[in-house]
Amino acid sequence: MRREAWDGGEWQTHCRQLLAMRYGEDIQFVPDRDRGDGGLEAYRLDDGIAYQCYAPQDAYDIVSLTEAQKRKIRTDIKKLVDHPEQTAAIIGKEKILRRWVLLTPYYDSKELVTYARDKSIRTRSTPCPPWCNNEFEIVISTDELFAPERARLYGAHAVGLDLRIPEPTTDEVATAAVDLDARLIPKLVCDPGLAASPEELHRYKDEIILDYIRGSQQKRLLETSYTLTFDAVNRRANSTLRALTRITYGTPGTGPELVNTLTERLNREFQEAVPSLSPILREDLARHYVGAWFVECPLRFTRAA
């Protein structure tokens, strides 16, 4: 299964939604805009379990990923230990923590688990902080811990979702072309077949613009009426296309073959991430996102041999 590239804010929102769905009013979230969250994203009111959300950025291999996660544990547990009065004030002076759960998109090394065990022992050793249970443990987990909530959030709602909208008119395409031609044509002419036929070039360019307009309308309707589905679609598309910008730099042959390959890949990503979408809507949205990427990406494609 392909791994999704989360940014920190997206992962935090995702985790908070899952926690809220499971625990409702029995969980307290800690805001971080005023001098940070003190090492706690949220804590449960009834059983001394706390959560911290963390999506490592720019961690492209096992070593850098694991080191980033160790650093997050080290930094946030230090906040709890170094400021016991603040920690006690946040969770309640009469409460203690027996688990601190790091929710992270994925982890790959047993070294992280070993580090968490060692850090747990050091944290609860003498002098034990007043908020710390004598069986305190640091636990590493992904959102698989909340599989039922995740399914409800991104899979089971709006099953078979389709969005019927009017087909963009010729005038709408022509109006959009005024702004988009200059961005599309220099990239498309790198394809030998399109470069050799101005008529075919402009026909294909108009198809991309048509996909761009149609998908924009569907996205607006999706965002308005099916917000959670839109969030899942948009996040997966952005994650995939961020990677494609690196992968396709200098890629020769930037016409129909490339567009179709990228569309098929994104269609598969949507099927995996948002199974509630109808096949037609998946295809339309995939074509829109690839068209938008083609318009907006800063790449300088190379001409095919």
Q: Has residue 289 been placed in a domain? A: yes
Strand partners, 170: none
**302, part of any domain:** no
Quick check: 183 and 295 in contact, CB under 8 A? yes
Last residue of a domain, one of 100, 117, 151: 151
- Percent of the chain past pLDDT 70, that is, above it, reads 86
CATH number at residue 73: 3.40.1350
Q: Are residues 91 and 171 in the same domain?
A: no
Specify whether the CB–CB gap between 98 and 47 falls below 8 A.
Answer: yes
Query: Do residues 231 and 192 share a domain?
Result: yes
Residue pLDDT, tens place only, 147-177: 888 877 765 444 556 666 666 777 887 888 7
Counting the structural domains of the chain, the total is 2
168 and 57 share one domain: no
Which of 151, 170, 202 is where one domain is finished? 151
Residue 66 sits in which domain range?
A: 8-151
Give the tens place of pLDDT for each residue, 183-239.
Answer: 888 878 877 788 889 898 888 888 888 888 888 888 888 887 777 788 888 888 887
Reply yes or no on whether the pLDDT at 255 is more than 80.
no
Residues 73-93 pLDDT 10s: 999 999 999 999 999 999 988
- For residue 163, the model assigns a pLDDT of 64
Q: Is residue 221 in some structural domain?
A: yes
pLDDT for 305 equals 40
On whether residue 280 sits in a domain, the answer given is yes
Q: By C-alpha distance, which of 73, 70, 36, 23 is closest to 52?
A: 73
* pLDDT the model gives residue 117: 97
Could you tell me if 24 and 85 lie in one domain?
yes
The number of residues in the chain equals: 305
Write the CB contacts of 9 (distance below 8 Å, at least 6 apart in sequence).
none
CA–CA distance, 122 with 265 (Å, rounded to integer): 47
Distance between CA 3 and CA 25 in Å, rounded? 32
Residues 122 and 167 in one domain: no
Place of tokens 């790959």: 108
**Does residue 184 share a domain with residue 121?**
no
The reply to whether 179 and 138 lie within a common domain is no
pLDDT for position 157: 47
Q: Is 236 exposed, middle or buried (0-12, 13-18, 19+ CB in 10 A)?
A: buried
On whether both 198 and 147 belong to a single domain, the answer is no
Mean pLDDT of 111-119: 97
Residue 79, domain member (yes or no): yes
> Do 199 and 138 share a domain, yes or no?
no
First to last CA, the chain: 34
Helix axes 256-273, 227-247, angle to 10 degrees: 140
Specify if 2 maps to a domain. no
Q: What is the pLDDT of residue 248?
A: 56
Cβ burial of 130 (10 Å; 0-12, 13-18, 19+) is exposed
Pair (129, 260) in one structural domain: no
